[in-house]
Amino acid sequence: MKREQKAWALYDWANSVYSLVISTAVFPLYYDQVVQSRIPLGSWNLEPTAAYSYVLMASFLTVAFLSPLLSGMADQNGTALRFLRFFMTLGALACMGLFFFGEGNAWYGLAVSYLASVSFWSSIVFYNSFLPAVAEVHEQDAVSARGYSMGYIGSSILLMGCLALILTAGDGWARAFKISFVLTGFWWLIFGWLSLSRFPKPKALDLRLGDVQGGYRVLVHTARAVWERPVQKQFLLAFAFFSVGVQTIILIASLYGSSELHISSEMLIGTILAIQFFGIAGAWLFRVFSERWGNIPALSLALVVWMLVCGGAYILRPEDAHVAVKFFGLGALVGLVMGGTQSLSRSSFSKLLGSGEGPATYFSLMDVIEKLSIVAGTLLTAYLAQKTGGMRLGALGLAVFFALGIGLLWPLRKAYKALTAPELPDRA
């Protein structure tokens, strides 16, 4: 593997600690421990989980709005590396800033977590844009897989370290959580700067001065092109619906286990760590299913399992003596279908693109759809949590989105096979 390719993969090692330690595992648990009462906002009093969901929603909405504009500016001026470095540094400092979040300053913690989320997801936009620059077309699958693997390994190592801190902290549990936030920021910053120092310098494109908003125009043009193609349109509509469920469950899983089921932080973090291993197995398993049955049936099967996860989460009760074991079982199911759903979604859509089309603009549309789906999911769960005082009904409501996804996907079986089988006979 070339020097620049190793550097590109190393950034995945650097930044994946945020998505696992901060957004998924450690911070939601700490937030649930220190924010026990409703949060005042003018004449409103927000339920804590609702406030957290609203902040996540705002961060994804911000990224969906900014990324086309910033991408256009980066292409015009050759500043993608500067944007990447800026958002990486800002996100890492925000993680460290969570050290000062504690009881009595809920809005500070929410504001800093919002900043970290915007920075992380914005940096991903520019990070992904460097893959064509560091790898030839025939190398991109291997280089991308190397980055995923390094991200998984790096984030798991740090999460295990944070778990060890929390398990041995005793009465100093709050400080152990805070140290975990600082370690995450340092990890991201140090390995990130080492990685970016070896990135290639992007070239400025010969665009007109007014083209800094060109990203929006390209997005609209691509959306219109997709709308005129029935199979692509229906697939992306299905993707929009089931992404609401997938991404929302990933984001709220630990908070649900803590606030609704009263599962210990140690058990929750252990479950989330196990999900990573099941995710790798799931990606392989659903690849086998897709080879045997086709992409659409395999993806539909994954969505059925997601519906079962929603139902299982709803019927679990904290008074159940085996609630922790059952939650772990649901986590194993999530891991299996999480890897399969994400890998099949991307590969299935990729097969729908013609050989003469630029895939970047189509996948940018897919990325915006995913972010807006996350906004919809967090808005739904926040609203239901505010109205009902808990997250249970929101978890069950997410099953509706998986059902809508299946309803749109299943009729595509024959049309999808007809479009993709001539190009990829083995449906790999």
pLDDT digits (tens, 9 = 90+) for 326-363: 888 888 888 888 877 876 776 677 667 654 444 455 66
All domains in the chain, ordered by first residue: 1-198 (1.20.1250.20), 213-428 (1.20.1250.20)
Q: Which of 48 and 428 is assigned the larger pLDDT?
A: 48
> In which region does residue 207 sit, left (phi positive, over 0), alpha (psi from -120 to 50) or beta (all else)?
beta
424 vs 330: CA distance, rounded Å = 34
Q: What is the DSSP letter of 421?
A: T
User: What pLDDT shows up at residue 118?
Assistant: 93
Q: 110-168 pLDDT, tens per residue? A: 999 999 999 998 888 788 777 767 776 556 556 766 776 787 788 889 988 998 898 88
324 vs 189: CA distance, rounded Å = 35
User: What pLDDT shows up at residue 308?
Assistant: 92
Return the exposure string of 150-177: e unless at least 16 CB atoms fall within 10 Å of the residue's CB, then b: bbbebbbebbeebbebbeeeeeebbebb
| pLDDT of 95 higher than 90 | yes
User: What pLDDT shows up at residue 194?
Assistant: 93
Which two three-digit tokens encode residue 317?
């009760």
User: What pLDDT shows up at residue 176?
Assistant: 93
Residues facing residue 244 across a β-bridge: none
Q: 238-297 pLDDT, tens per residue? A: 998 998 888 888 777 777 887 788 888 778 877 888 887 787 777 678 777 877 888 888
User: Are 385 and 47 in contact, with CB atoms under 8 Å apart?
Assistant: yes
| pLDDT of 183 higher than 90 | yes
33 vs 264: CA distance, rounded Å = 11
